[in-house]
Structure 1
Amino acid sequence: MLRIGAHTSIAGGVDNAVDEQLEYDGNCGQIFSHSPQVWQDPNIGDDEAEEFRQLSDDNDVGPWVIHTSYLVNLCTPKDDLREKSIDSMQKEVDAADKLDIPYVNVHLGAHTGAGVEGGLDNAASALEELDVPDGVTVLIESDAGSGTKLGGTFDELGGVLERCDLDLDVCLDTAHMFAAGYDLSTPEGVDETFAEFDEEIGLEHLECVHLNDSKHE
């Protein structure tokens, strides 16, 4: 069965994300556990967590993904931002465990002067500080790679997987990939792109695709 769904809202309770997903006829989905624009802890009550799990099971909706805060920067050389990012990530994987969500999705962030290799080292070591519950996997999401942001190339994504002792997997965002120079405009281009991914990282590490349109033709 093809698993395809939308990013849905937890406004009014995380269980509402399942109801919204069912309105779209989705059978999997993604949520934010809190506003992604601020440093904030997930605040998910036991009752709504139970309702989320039950509704998902009863309607065969899953797997779900939690997308982390946009403020998280795993590549940063700045100690304070690094600690905030690790703390935020830890709370996200714990929330995923509470909700029986198998994936937490994160962008690598920007190296802001540490260099590509230094940024990848920073990201891998930050992830290794997490205590990831059994049944939860961190997904590294591809980025457009603008400025000093990392994750725009398969080489950079694979570099974190190679450096990190955690069992990591990958989420590919089609709009980000296209902006980063991967040709997804034709069936042949898609075949070539995913063959390259398989060669550099391995399709066994591809757990999720953000299927997004692009502002560019």
Structure 2
Amino acid sequence: MRVGAHVSISKSPRPNDDEKPPYGDLRNAVHRQVTFGGNCGQIFTHSPQVWQDPDIDADEAEKFRTATADQLDGPWVIHSSYLVNLCTPKDGLRQKSLDSMQKEVDAASQLGIEYVNVHLGAHTGAGVEGGLDNAVSVLDDLSIPDEVTVLLESDAGSGTKLGGDFEHLAYVLRESEQDLDVCVDTAHAFAAGYDLSSADAVDDAVAEFDDVVGLEHLACIHLNDSKHACGTNKDEHAHIGEGHIGVEGMRRIVSHPDLVDVPLVLETPTEDGRGFAWNIERVRELAAEAAEV
């Protein structure tokens, strides 16, 4: 089972670090992942709240690749900056988004990371089809290394944000000249109206995804429970099995025969004395419970 968390690359301790990170480089991400009990995971290459370039030298990249190969099963995913908006009709923001994404896919190649994950963004008045066409245009202008795949992440669907409907993802996959895949965030999909709170509901949602997008394009799952009800478009993550998706839904997601080989990356909160280690162990417990039935 490939399950892990979105971990920090920081050289300094964070509140959920079990101990002071031992390295002065990106290997701290590997160390944190192992400490939490994960064997795959996700990182930001820089603060996601600002326009900033990844700052990775060749020696640091080699150490990260070696540590990953020695200690993890993989894959890693790079999550793009929150400022990236592929759907924007604004030329300046489009160019910044394109430049940022190009640097992320280049960093992924340098680090031996297979995936770069990105939200489609908001059309901000361009309309759904106009926004999706804008996203296709940006993606097609990228020079993506052969060993890297860009993943389109499902969205909670608030305001003019696109990606909450599986058809939005399918449209971009069809229209783009790039070989793209998808990352479904369970909390986002639930907030967007795809019920995942029971075994039957999960089966229905998986079947709908397969019909609209195709399971062959599902490369990663952001496994998060939701603090809000289905269809509310509110994106706030909860501990595994303790939100509105709940134990039954989460148990079916981690044991569904069409999903068991898909890497699971957690973006669950650190609160109530519990963090990534607790949630990763909970995922494994739910998978074991399902196997016993």
- Please say whether Structure 1 and Structure 2 have the same fold, judged by a TM-score greater than 0.5: yes
Counterpart position of 1:126: 138
Please give the secondary structure, in 1, of the residue aligned with 2:161.
Answer: coil
Question: Out of 69, 77, 81, which is 1:69 matched to?
Answer: 81
1:66-111 deviation line (CA, Å, top 9, x unaligned): 0000000000000000000000000000000000000000000000
1:194 aligns with 2:206: yes
Deviation at 1:44, TM superposition (A): 1.0
Give the share of equivalent positions with the same residue, in percent.
69
The correspondence of residues 198-209 of structure 1 with structure 2, limited to 5 A, is 198-209=210-221
- Tell me, in whole angstroms, the C-alpha distance in 1 between the residues paired with 2:99 and 2:165: 27
CA contact (8 A) 1:41 1:91 kept: yes
Equivalent residue, structure 2, for 1:18: 30
The residue number in structure 1 matching 2:263 is: none
Amino acid at match of 1:164: S
Corresponding residue number in structure 2 for 1:5: 4
Considering only CA atoms, is the larger Rg found in Structure 1 or Structure 2? Answer: 2
SS at match of 1:106: strand
Q: What's the RMSD between the two structures over aligned residues?
A: 0.7
Decide which of 185, 190, 211 is 2:197's aligned counterpart. Answer: 185
The aligned residue for residue 108 of structure 1 is 120
Structure 1 residue corresponding to 2:108, chosen from 83, 93, 96: 96
Task: Point out where structure 1 has 5 or more consecutive residues left out of the alignment.
Answer: none
Q: Does the alignment pair 1:144 with 2:156?
A: yes
Native 8 Å contact 1:171 1:209 kept in 2: yes
d(CA) in 2 for partners of 1:79 and 1:181? Answer: 32
- Equivalent residue of 2:68, what SS? helix
For residue 168 of structure 1, what is the amino acid of its counterpart? L
Tell me the secondary structure at the aligned position of residue 5 of structure 1. strand
Aligned equivalents of 1:35 and 1:81: distance in 2? 18
CA distance in 2, matches of 1:175, 1:205: 19
| Aligned counterpart, 1:33 | 45
- Per-residue deviation, residues 158-187 of structure 1 (Å, max 9, x unmatched): 011011000000000011001000001001
Work out the CA distance in 1 between the residues paired with 2:114 and 2:216: 16
SS at 2:39's partner residue?
Answer: coil
- The runs of at least 4 consecutive aligned structure 1 residues that moved more than 3 Å come to none
Answer whether contact 1:32 1:67 (CA < 8 A) is retained.
Answer: yes
Deviation at 1:142, TM superposition (A): 0.3
**Contact 1:66-1:105 at 8 Å conserved across structures:** yes
Task: Quote how far apart the aligned CAs of 1:61 are.
Answer: 3.3
Separation in structure 1 between the aligned mates of residue 38 and residue 159 of structure 2, nearest angstrom: 35
Q: C-alpha distance in 2, partners of 1:46/1:84?
A: 25
Give, in whole Å, the separation in 2 of the partners of 1:108 and 1:14: 27
Instruction: After TM superposition, give the deviation of residue 213 of structure 1 in Å.
Output: 1.3
Contact map agreement 1:26 1:61 (CA 8 A) in 2: no
Correspondence 1:166-185 to 2 at 5 A: 166-185=178-197
Per-residue CA distance 1:136-156 (angstroms, 9 max, x = gap): 000000001100000001001
Counterpart CA distance in 2 for 1:139 and 1:6 is 17
1:34 partner letter = H
Letter in 1 for 2:170: G
Structure 2 distance, partners of 1:40, 1:17, is 19
| Alpha-carbon distance between aligned partners in 2 of 1:45 and 1:25, rounded to the nearest angstrom | 28
Give the aligned residue type for 1:215. Answer: K
Count of matched residue positions in the alignment of Structure 1 and Structure 2: 216
* Bigger mean CA offset, 57-66 vs 77-86: 57-66
Select 2:177's aligned residue among 165, 173, 176.
165
Is the 1:140–1:171 Cα contact (8 Å) retained in structure 2? yes
Q: Look up the equivalent residue of 1:146 and give its one-letter code.
A: S
Letter in 2 for 1:111: H
